Structure 1
């Protein structure tokens, strides 16, 4: 499990690229996809959040606070983009027992 905001490279499989054009984009880990093993990453070039399996984690690059996008550390805007709905965990009385 990787920390959110971890720098990554994303393999670009959507655009038709020439032989000598760059095939990876840089980005940040935003989360994990709920329905499969894909990662949710923020693409720094296109400025969108995408879900992909083709991710390499840049472990040698330090994860320094303040180097990523500012919205990445704003939990309200991040949870809004991920369609997250909070779950209330409280004890409920059992009327059957």
Structure 2
């Protein structure tokens, strides 16, 4: 019945085999559903940086967006643009 007394080996080995098999399946599903990282220059990914995040806005773009939405007035916008121009590195 236990192949000459070796049945306890299989009884000890089978739970480990099932744990390893389930772990392998979970790893494969996670691996196959993730987007490839480090492909910023991939075609068709201009709107994101290849990782599902929007591209980072520059300070000028943030200022323009806030002015366009009415968060800041014209005087504040003009003053902030001048300050940003002063701190911009020169070529």
TM bucket, shorter chain: under 0.3
Max radius of gyration: which structure?
Answer: 2
Alignment TM-score, normalising by the size of structure 2: 0.20
**Higher percent of residues as helix:** 2
Higher-RCO chain (CA-CA 8 Å, sequence separation at least 6): 1
Alignment TM-score, normalising by the size of structure 1: 0.19
